[in-house]
Amino acid sequence: MSKEKIILGIDPGTTIMGFGLIKVVGKTMSFMQLNELDLKKYDDHYLKLKLIFERTIELIETHHPDEIAIEAPFFGKNVQSMLKLGRAQGVAMAAGLSREVPITEYSPKKIKMAITGNGNASKDQVAKMLQSLLQLKELPKNLDATDGLAAAVCHFYNQGRVSVGKSYSGWASFVKQNEDRVKK
């Protein structure tokens, strides 16, 4: 009998955090859920980070994912946006690490490539491909939720490959892989 595994995919953001869950049995994946945490109504950046952390913990405690796949921030021109996105990703990762759920991070290009075969695909193209792959009846209004689901599907496709994104199995693993960035 094949072991069942649940993968939580997260597209971090301080305006909207998208997430999706898939179940994997053997070599078959199936859709569980996709949704988003809408943070637009909050002005306080620190409150947004707290809500991202709490929602990620809630998802972990509700669905017991075996692994988390998270989209890495892309390097844009706006440094402030990049900083906020990095913080959002960091608190989502901290939530997973605090519950000892292994995390793998993927670049947006790698996720798009895994889903569509094109690293420059649009959000809409990624969403339509996911709709076809997972037989989703309808797509959400905001495509941040499908971006989170795409991270989970990307992780499924990359299982067993030697070179995936950065992976962390816990705090010690994170610190060891980032020793050059940790002050002593």
User: CATH number for the domain including 167?
Assistant: 3.30.420.10
pLDDT score for 155? 96
Q: Cite the DSSP H helix spans in the chain.
A: 45-63, 79-98, 108-116, 123-133, 144-158, 171-177
- Residue 31 domain-assigned (yes or no): yes
Q: Is residue 33 one of the residues assigned to a domain?
A: yes
Indicate whether 54 belongs to any domain. Answer: yes
- Give me the mean pLDDT over the 50-79 stretch: 92
Overall number of domains in the chain: 1
Closest CA to 106 of 97, 98, 115: 115
Q: Is residue 184 part of a domain?
A: no
Range of the domain at 137: 4-177
State how far the alpha carbon of 128 is from the alpha carbons of 29, 97, 136, in Å: 17, 31, 9
- To the question of whether residue 11 is assigned a binding role by annotation, the answer is yes
Establish whether 179 is a catalytic residue.
no
In this prediction, residues 106-124 reach a mean pLDDT of 95
List the one residue out of 171, 142, 155 whose CA is nearest residue 21. 155
pLDDT tens digits for range 9-36: 999 999 999 999 999 998 899 999 999 9
Q: In this structure, what are the phi and psi dihedrals at residue 166, rounded to the nearest 5 degrees?
A: -75, 135
Residue 16 half-sphere exposure toward CB, CA atoms < 13 A: 15
Which candidate in 36, 67, 105, 144 is catalytic? 144
Instruction: Look at residues 110, 113, 125 and name the one whose alpha carbon lies nearest to residue 164.
Output: 110
Annotated catalytic, 100? no
